[in-house]
Amino acid sequence: MASSMTLALDAMGGDHGPEVIIPGAALSLSRHPDTNFILVGDETRIKACLGAHPALQKRARIVHTDLAIGMQDKPSQALRRGKGSSMWLTLEAVKNGEAQAAISAGNTGALMALSRLILRQIPGIERPAIAAQWPTIGRPCIVLDVGSNIGASARQLIEYALMGAAMARAQLGIERPTVGLLNVGVEEIKGNEEVKEAHTLLKQSNPGLPFDYRGFVEGDQIGQGAVDVVVVEGFAGNIALKTAEGTARQIATYLRNAMALSPITKIGALLAKSGFRVLKGQMDPRNLNGGPFLGLNGITIKSHGGTDAIGFATAVDLGYEMARKRVIDRIAADIASIAGKLDAPVDEKQN
């Protein structure tokens, strides 16, 4: 029998607070009935929401705090004044071993700053990254970094590759995930210096790596499922992610208008309803909500701030699965296994 699982939730995070977090937790519990919850935040508001979810109430412990970090607070403010806030105490529950993962829909910058402070980085990792699960025409892939840092050295890009691959292995069950470096072309001469250097290092180390490095990929290959893990520095990665979200929304608008063109198209759309339901599911960002912070001594999952209970439950599920599959141990082992191997100077870099 599996050991018991406890997840810590920042009940005050996101645009809606407990009114979304609590029903989201209840939904996730219905899928993983062995979960225990630590709910951190305003006790009165949490209790008011719990009334409608007796199963969750039985498995939840409330940690009260009056403090909450605002969606507009800067990371520096969170570090200075965040002690004792719902986000802080949620992360502390993971640090103290009371919970196996922290899930928050609170502000990304503050959550990353506090996660780094409280959970600390895995030895050997220079920088944590934010990963996203990206839908493709095949199985979802993992893209990172989608906004933890601006820019990345070759060494950091390789760390991202390793962390993303560990997550793909644990999360998607792929023994030797394929990894690509996002670039502006697939030829060796393309890209900035960091990307080219990471490419050279990965190529020459490939047989010894715990993943299969496939070289450069371009933006249009992500959604085609060309590789299991797409590595990119956080500025371009964040822009790619949001551009894809925006394009999906834009096409959904086109499609709605096109189906409302005439009485005949409306009847057609009605008949095709079951097909549109499938499409809607494939395009629903709630089905892949939850961006894990990778590279820390503990699991933090960032949920979209504006999501609803269905979306938040997906992020809770992700925390559950990553804890169950021991992704952190896997990353730590992989980093240790290649320690030193990737730091050697490369032939082309001699002069």
**Residue 203 or 249 having the CB closest to a copy of itself:** 249
**Residue 117 or 255 having the CB closest to a copy of itself:** 255
60 forms bridges with which residues in the sheet? 37
Find the length of the chain: 351
Distances (CA, A) of 309 to 47, 49, 295: 17, 12, 27
The verdict on whether omega for the bond into residue 145 sits within 30 degrees of 0, i.e. cis, is yes
Quick check: 44 and 329 in contact, CB under 8 A? Answer: no
**Residue 52 or 184 having the CB closest to a copy of itself:** 184
**Residue 3 or 274 having the CB closest to a copy of itself:** 274
Q: How far is the CB of 283 from a copy of itself (least distance, A)?
A: 7
Q: How far is the CB of 101 from a copy of itself (least distance, A)?
A: 25
Question: Structure tokens of 43?
Answer: 């006790």
Q: How far is the CB of 323 from a copy of itself (least distance, A)?
A: 29
SS3 104: strand
DSSP character string of 280-307: HHHH-GGGG--EEEESBSSEEEEPPTT-
Q: How far is the CB of 225 from a copy of itself (least distance, A)?
A: 9
**Residue 65 or 107 having the CB closest to a copy of itself:** 107
Q: How far is the CB of 196 from a copy of itself (least distance, A)?
A: 10
**Residue 82 or 147 having the CB closest to a copy of itself:** 147
Q: How far is the CB of 107 from a copy of itself (least distance, A)?
A: 10
Q: How far is the CB of 286 from a copy of itself (least distance, A)?
A: 16
**Residue 220 or 347 having the CB closest to a copy of itself:** 220
Amino acid at 152: A
Quote the CA–CA distance of 240 and 260 in Å, as a whole number: 30
Distances (CA, A) of 46 to 35, 40, 64, 118: 18, 9, 9, 24
Question: Structure tokens of 72?
Answer: 């507009």
For the chain, the distance separating the N- and C-terminal CA atoms, rounded to the nearest angstrom, is 58
**Which residues in this chain contact a copy of itself in the complex, by CB under 8 A?**
72, 74, 135-137, 147, 150-151, 182, 184, 187, 189, 191-192, 218-224, 232, 234-236, 238-251, 253-255, 257-262, 264-265, 267-276, 278-279, 282-283
SS3 for 13-78, per residue?
Answer: CCCCCHHHHHHHHHHHHHHCCCEEEEEEECHHHHHHHHCCCHHHHHHEEEEECCCCCCCCCCHHHH
**Residue 227 or 316 having the CB closest to a copy of itself:** 227
Q: How far is the CB of 188 from a copy of itself (least distance, A)?
A: 10
